[in-house]
C-alpha cells in the first residue's frame, strides 16, 4: 500500500477495481445499489465508466453494452442533434480563414493553416463531446430536450468522449479528426 493512501474498503468486482470510500458516503452508495457486501455491483460498473479511474485500466469501448449503445445512437439520432453534429463536424474554409485572420491580430505570434486546422479540430471534438455529455446516456440513448435540461452534465466525461469517437467513426467517416487520436 502506498504511503498516505487509505486501505480499500470496497473490493474489486464486475470490472471495477478496489476503492476506498469514506464511512459517511458508504450508506449512500449502498442505497443506490452500487456497493453490496463490500463489493462493487454490476450496476456500479457502467456508472463508474464515467469516472474511468486510470488505476483500474478499464477499456469499456469493446464491451457489448457500449457497442450496442453506439449502434442505437447511430440508428436513432434525432434530427436536431444530427444538425448540431454535422454543423460542428465539418471544418469549412471560411472558418480557417477567419481563424488565421484572428491569429494574425496578435503581434509576434506566427500561425499557419496547420495551426488553424489543429485548433478547429480540437474545438470540433470538444463541442461534439459536449453534445454527448448533455444529450446522450448509455442506458437511455438520446435524451429528449426536457430530459437534456434536467440531466446532470459531466464535463470531460470519459464515457461520452469515447462514445463520440466510436459514434463518429460510424456516423461521420469522412471526418477522421473526430474519431482518430491525434
Mean pLDDT of the chain, nearest integer = 93
Q: Is the pLDDT of residue 4 over 70?
A: no
Instruction: Name residue 19's beta-bridge partners.
Output: 10
- Per-residue confidence (pLDDT) for residue 152, from 0 to 100: 86
- Per-residue confidence (pLDDT) for residue 25, from 0 to 100: 94
148's CB contacts (< 8 A; 6+ apart) are 134, 135
116's CB contacts (< 8 A; 6+ apart) are 95, 96, 99, 100, 103
- Per-residue confidence (pLDDT) for residue 3, from 0 to 100: 57
Query: How far is CA 126 from each of CA 11, 29, 89, 100, rounded to the nearest angstrom?
Result: 35, 31, 10, 20
Query: Strand ranges (DSSP E) for 29-158?
Result: 35-36, 39-40, 136-137, 141-142
Summarize pLDDT for 27-66 with one digit per residue, the tens: 999 999 999 999 999 999 999 999 888 889 889 999 999 9
Q: 45: which 3 cell numbers?
A: 460498473
178's CB contacts (< 8 A; 6+ apart) are 89, 124, 125, 128, 164, 165, 168, 169, 172
Weakest mean pLDDT among 118-127, 147-156, 165-174:
147-156
SS3 182: coil
Summarize pLDDT for 84-108 with one digit per residue, the tens: 999 999 999 999 999 999 998 988 8
Amino acid at each position: 500500500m502506498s504511503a498516505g493512501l487509505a486501505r480499500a474498503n470496497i473490493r474489486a468486482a464486475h470490472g471495477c477495481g478496489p476503492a476506498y470510500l469514506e464511512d459517511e458516503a458508504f450508506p449512500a452508495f449502498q442505497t443506490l445499489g452500487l456497493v453490496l457486501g463490500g463489493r462493487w455491483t454490476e450496476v456500479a460498473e457502467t456508472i463508474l465508466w464515467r469516472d474511468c479511474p486510470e488505476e483500474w485500466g478499464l477499456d469499456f469501448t469493446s464491451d457489448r453494452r457500449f457497442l450496442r449503445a453506439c449502434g442505437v445512437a447511430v440508428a436513432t439520432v434525432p434530427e436536431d442533434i444530427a444538425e448540431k453534429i454535422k454543423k460542428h463536424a465539418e471544418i469549412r474554409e471560411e472558418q480557417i480563414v477567419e481563424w488565421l485572420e484572428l491569429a494574425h491580430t496578435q503581434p509576434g505570434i506566427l500561425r499557419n493553416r496547420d495551426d488553424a486546422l489543429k485548433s478547429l479540430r480540437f474545438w470540433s471534438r470538444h463541442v461534439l463531446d459536449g453534445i454527448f455529455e448533455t444529450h446522450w446516456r448509455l442506458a437511455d440513448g438520446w435524451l429528449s430536450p426536457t430530459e437534456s435540461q434536467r440531466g446532470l452534465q459531466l464535463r470531460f466525461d470519459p464515457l461520452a468522449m469515447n462514445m463520440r469517437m466510436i459514434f463518429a467513426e460510424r456516423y461521420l467517416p469522412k471526418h477522421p479528426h473526430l474519431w482518430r487520436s491525434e
